[in-house]
Amino acid sequence: MSKKQLYILEYPVRCSASILYEFLSTPAGLQEWFADKVDERDNVFSFSWDGSVEKAEVLEHEDDKFIRYHWLHLPKTEYFEFKIEKAEITNQTILVIKDFAEKNDIKDQSQLWEYQIKELFHRLGSN
C-alpha cells in the first residue's frame, strides 16, 4: 500500500473564528454540514452517512484556532485538521483544512472537501 500524502486546502470565510469553530468542533455544528448525524462521547466523534458510521478521536484542539481528528480505522500518523487563521493584510478569516490521501486521490478528495465546504458556507450564510 502506498503512503498517503498530506495536502492542504484554504478557504476564505466571512464569519468570526468563534462561530466557525463551533461548526468544526461540536456534534451539532458538524451535523449541519459534514455528516448526516454526529455524536460525541469521551472525545470520540461518530459520523454517520447513509447508515454507515465512521469514528474519529480528537487528537488536539485549541478553542477558536484548530481541531485535529484521527479516523480510528487509519494509521495514527494520518489525521484531518481544521485550522482557523487570520490573513495579515486583509484580516480575513481563513479556514485551512489538512488531510491525507493517496497521491492519485488528492484531486477527488479535494473536490469532496469543496462540496462539503460549500455546504458549510451555506449554513454559515457566508457564500
Range of the domain at 20: 5-124
Measured distance CA(72)–CA(46) in Å, rounded: 10
Mean pLDDT of the chain: 95
* Residue 38 · residue 31 · CB < 8 Å: yes
Residue the block writes with cell 495579515: 88
Residue 45: pLDDT band (50, 70, 90) is very high
Q: What is the CATH number for 15?
A: 3.30.530.20
pTM of the predicted protein model = 0.93
Cα distances from 81 to residues 8, 50, 54, 90, in angstroms, run: 9, 23, 16, 23
In this prediction, what percent of the chain has a pLDDT beyond 90?
89
As a whole number, mean pLDDT of residues 40-65 equals 96
The per-residue pLDDT for 91 is 87
pLDDT on residue 1: 52
Task: Please report, as a single letter, which amino acid is at residue 41.
Answer: R
Counted domains in the chain: 1
Mean pLDDT of 5-34: 96
What digits encode the pLDDT tens for the residues 76-92?
899 999 999 998 888 89
